[in-house]
Structure 1
Amino acid sequence: MSEDKSIENTPSSPERRRFVGVAATAAGLSLAPGIMLMEVAHGRPEEQAASSAVRWGMLVDATKCGTGCNDCVSACSTENGWTPVAESQHKNQAPQWIRKLELQDPLTQFETNLPMMCQHCADAPCVDVCPTGASFKRADGIVLVNRHTCIGCRYCMMACPYKARSLVHEPLNDTQKADVPRGMGCVESCTLCVQKIDRGDGTTACAEACTASGHNALLFGDMNDPESEISKRLRELPTKQVRADLNLNLGVRYHGI
């Protein structure tokens, strides 16, 4: 669907990339009134680097995921300041931080509901193809995008097997969150609520909402800690990695699919 805009104003134009490269380095990206990307900081002190001793991950129990329930999507939207597909004016350009899938086995007609988000791969294709290093994986397994160096080329979107990334097409104002900087022309995806993790909340907005609704289909935690609840559940339940044939070692595991 074309828009009545000149090529100079498109998110991926050469002019924009040159501007971002200079302006972001010099002064930071102006995201919204009073918010500069370079000034945004999380609660975790800078000297406390993410540790490889931790591997943050998510267990999704599809047998408990409620049909028609979108609490996880709504919670993620509220926490991170993006507009869900159902509310977006441009549905083909809507953010893909998390979305609900309804699947049906063509042979048995068995139906399954599950949330799909960035799988936080240990060997992330998005990181491999990024020409600027904007896509990166923290030591604790969380895959993120550095909005200072993202040029909106969308190679990572093409490389992602899970359709988990999206490009910000429109200017952002009212929905902007101080601790979740977003910017037009940047690629974004689920961050496992890194701002909540870094300030010590210990869980994600989607998992909190799922628990509050009584479904308990989402469990977040440290997969490297054998005593964590998620590690215990992973030992008890048979789980799968989506597209396990790709050998990406995912941080999101599914039960019941």
Structure 2
Amino acid sequence: MKPEPSSPCSCGSGVACQDETQKARRGFLGVAAAGLAGILLAPGVRLIEVAQAATPAGATAGASPKVRWGMLVDTTKCTPGCNACVTACQTENGLPTQPGPTDAQWIRKIEIKEIKTGKAHSLPVMCQHCAEPPCVDVCPTGASFKRADGIVLVDKHICIGCRYCVMACPYKARSFVHEPQTNQKPDVPRGMGTVEGCTLCVHKVDKGESPACVQACAAAGYGAIAFGDLNDPNSEISKRVAQYSTRQLREDLSLNTGVRYQGL
């Protein structure tokens, strides 16, 4: 009697066939992927939970390279002394309402005056969401990155707090978190030892809403900030950029900013 084959397979050939091997490999990879998915990204957050999270109603499935989100600030409508946009940003993102010297401030109001004419302007300054962001160029870990739709963000999971991006930003739009954070907003995680800045309220944009500063400016009756898709010729912001003379801050740097100013 012939001995039984030591490695039987389903096809009866006596040798493990290629199909069986491929099935085994796929099974192993599936187990490995499930194991990796359980790795903690941050306390209480796991990859598998992120992957299984349902997309909210009205939200976009992901950043589209066909879109370029941007803002247009009409300085002729921006009123000196009005801080509606600043207050809204602080409230929406869980920032200190009375920021100290080392506290984060994602948007600030500044007053400028033209030397020759004496003409004064009041305008908000925040991350300009550059098409060629210097903060991304200098980041050693890739924590500073630009989404496909032009929004520049910081991945807090891999930010090491080196602050190279803070030094590279010509708009002073990046802040370093010095203290432990409490009472954080669920949609806006913040962490000590990391860098942060204006996100264009990406958590609202992905739900089809405008940033908090835009909504607050409109509610205050000024309507000085327009938000929309710079790539869409039919959007309000694109029409206004085409119709009126607009400028970028530090145009000499050729960064192609997503925030434009009218009336400067």
TM-score (norm 2): 0.79
Q: Quote the residue 2:74 is aligned against.
A: 61
Deviations 1:198-253 (A, max 9, x none): 1222x110000001111110000000000001111111110001111111010000
Select 2:187's aligned residue among 174, 179, 200: 179
Q: Quote the residue 1:148 is aligned against.
A: 157
Change (3 A) 1:190 1:47: closer
Q: How many percent identity over aligned positions? A: 60
Deviations 1:117-175 (A, max 9, x none): 0000000000000000000000000000000000000000000000000011111112x
The CA distance in 1 between the partners of 2:55 and 2:178, in whole Å, is 29
Write the letter of the residue equivalent to 1:211: A
Write the letter of the residue equivalent to 1:190: C
Corresponding pairs, count: 223
CA offset at residue 65 of structure 1? Answer: 0.2
Structure 1 or 2, whichever has the larger Rg, is 2
Which residues in structure 2 correspond to 1:1-257 (within 5 Å)? Answer: 26-30=39-43, 36=45, 43=55, 48-84=61-97, 87-88=98-99, 91-174=100-183, 176-201=184-209, 203-257=210-264
Q: Is the 8 A contact 1:37 1:181 kept in 2?
A: no
Write the letter of the residue equivalent to 2:106: W
Change (3 A) 1:232 1:256: same
Structure with greater contact order relative to length (CA < 8 Å, sep ≥ 6): 1
C-alpha RMSD of the superposition:
2.2
Change (3 A) 1:186 1:223: same
Gaps of 5+ in 1: 1-24
Q: Equivalent residue of 2:73, what SS?
A: strand
Write the letter of the residue equivalent to 2:76: T
